[in-house]
Amino acid sequence: MKLPSATLDTIEMDIDQLGIKMYDLIAELYPICRSITGNGVRSTLDIIKKITPIEINQVPSGTQVFDWTVPKEWNIKDACVKDRDGHRIIDFQQHNLHVLNYSVPVHKKVSRAELEEHLYSLPAQPDLIPYRTSYYSENWGFCLSEKQRQALCDDDYEVCIDSTLQDGNLTYGEYYIKGETDDEILLTCHICHPSLCNDNLSGISLVAHLARILSTLSLRYSYRFLFIPGTIGSITWLALHQDITQKIKGGLVVAGVGDSGPFTYKKSRIGDAEIDKSVIHVLQHSGKGYALREFSPYGYDERQFCSPGFNLPVGSLTRTPYGEYPEYHTSADNLDFVTAGSLSESLSIYLEVIHVLENNLVYLNQNPKCEPQLGKRGLYSALGGETNAKERQLAMLWVLNLSDGRHDLLEIAEKSKIRFQTINQVTRQLENAHLLVRLPDRSI
Ligand code: ZN
């Protein structure tokens, strides 16, 4: 097998075109009714497989995973509420958010009062259907707009949920790329939401395309990509792969990357791990607005990866945080809410973070007694004519000065306030001029 030789520095990518492809994948996955288990997850993983060759794994219901148990598998064919005339006035076929996710089967006549106890709507957002779940307590219900709810005037209704809740499997997808070292970077997304674009599908699409891009490159780190149901998926994966967790040197929970809001980075519980410093550096130099959040034990799957028994360096890089946009967990988180432009911008930021991780090495200055003469090595002329020649010259001086075996390139970028990409480029030039030698990984 021929190993790839391209790196993130040499690969040519049409990032705008990739944004369109990411959007198209979201559009293909949007109609599927997903949940934490079931055929919707399997169909989703089959479609992801067309982008990147993930391995699909199944864990049987009843499997004990730390303090949790893999639940029964849920599948649904149809659901509706019919009025007296037999009209489907709340219809799962119109929108899969209409059914309370994980509803147990039901088929009966109910009074309006009884039906009301099983309805969920948003009085403050009267046109939107909310997204509600009942995974761990058996229930049935319907979600509808407040306007639809106000229009209910019959005395009784027929409710029908044609679902099954039986022993089966929890299904998840995984893809692994072996790099130069066994140390791993983890990229994980949740796959359990039905028709919701930003919260769920944008993360899936970004991770799938990122995996595809990285699979063509020569990489220093190994990379692991997880497509898992939220909470129970990460708990299950961690319970079954405790041996792998020591290899995870950094990770990101990917979600909410398709809206047009500013980037938000929630730090890992460690707070100053290489992944934290890398993301923060990239955002600082992105020229775009961004926000930083300290770790908190609430949110996406970083809750599990950062639980004290693991305390992995895993943060979460999103755009507008979950719950802080009005479309969140409603029917308005649809194909109009995410854009190809936002997706491609998010992908660029993720690729730049990976570029930092890949190249954040430690070098040793081979001419440490006074500054080496750059001119006689052609290093000044190499800079001539370049618009940022002054910054590159300054970058060379910083790299030479701090390459004493105790600073990695990201620290040098931070101290010099010069973008990592520039620091990395001049490092290549200095290395080619035999003024620097790369030290083995993690030697500081
Ligand atoms: Zn969610």
Distance 160 CA to ligand 1 centre (A): 26
CB–CB of 443/362 below 8 Å? yes
The total number of residues shown for the chain amounts to 444
Span 15-70+170-359 CATH architecture: 3-Layer(aba) Sandwich (3.40)
One digit per residue, the tens of pLDDT, for the chain of length 444 reads 455 778 888 888 999 999 999 999 999 999 999 999 999 999 999 999 999 999 999 999 999 999 999 999 999 999 999 999 999 999 999 999 999 999 999 999 999 999 999 999 999 999 999 999 999 999 999 999 999 999 999 999 999 999 999 999 999 999 999 999 999 999 999 999 999 999 999 999 999 999 999 999 999 999 999 999 999 999 999 999 999 999 999 999 999 999 999 999 999 999 999 999 999 999 999 999 999 999 999 999 999 999 999 999 999 999 999 999 999 999 999 999 999 999 999 999 999 999 999 999 999 999 999 999 998 998 876 555 666 888 999 999 999 999 999 999 999 999 999 999 999 999 999 999 999 999 987 655
**Span from the CA of 246 to the centroid of ligand 1 (angstroms):** 28
* H or E element at residue 50: helix 39-51
Domain ranges of the chain: 15-70+170-359, 73-166, 362-438
Cα 70 to ligand 1 centre (Å): 19
* Distance (Å, whole) CA 146 – CA 404: 65
CB within 8 Å of 390: residues ≥ 6 apart: none
Give 217 Cα–ligand 1 centroid separation in angstroms: 32
Q: How far is CA 297 from CA 145, 225, 308, in A?
A: 32, 22, 10
200 CA to middle of ligand 1, Å? 7
Q: Please answer whether residues 40 and 3 qualify as being in contact, where contact means their C-beta atoms are separated by less than 8 angstroms.
A: no
In the chain, the N- to C-terminal Cα span, in Å, equals 34
Residues in Cβ contact with 391 at an 8 Å cutoff, skipping those fewer than 6 apart = 418, 422
CATH class assigned to 362-438: mainly alpha
Please tell me the distance between residue 329's alpha carbon and the centre of ligand 1 in angstroms: 6
Of the options 3.50.30.90, 3.40.50.2000, 3.40.640.10, 3.40.50.720, the CATH number for the domain spanning 73-166: 3.50.30.90
The rounded Å distance from CA 116 to ligand 1 centre is 24
> Residue 322: left if φ>0, alpha if ψ -120 to 50, beta else—which one?
beta
Residue 381: predicted pLDDT:
61
What pTM, to 2 d.p., does this model score? Answer: 0.96
- 150 CA distance to ligand 1 middle (Å): 27
Cα of 390 vs centre of ligand 1, distance in Å, is 47
Chain-centroid distance, C-alpha 85: 46
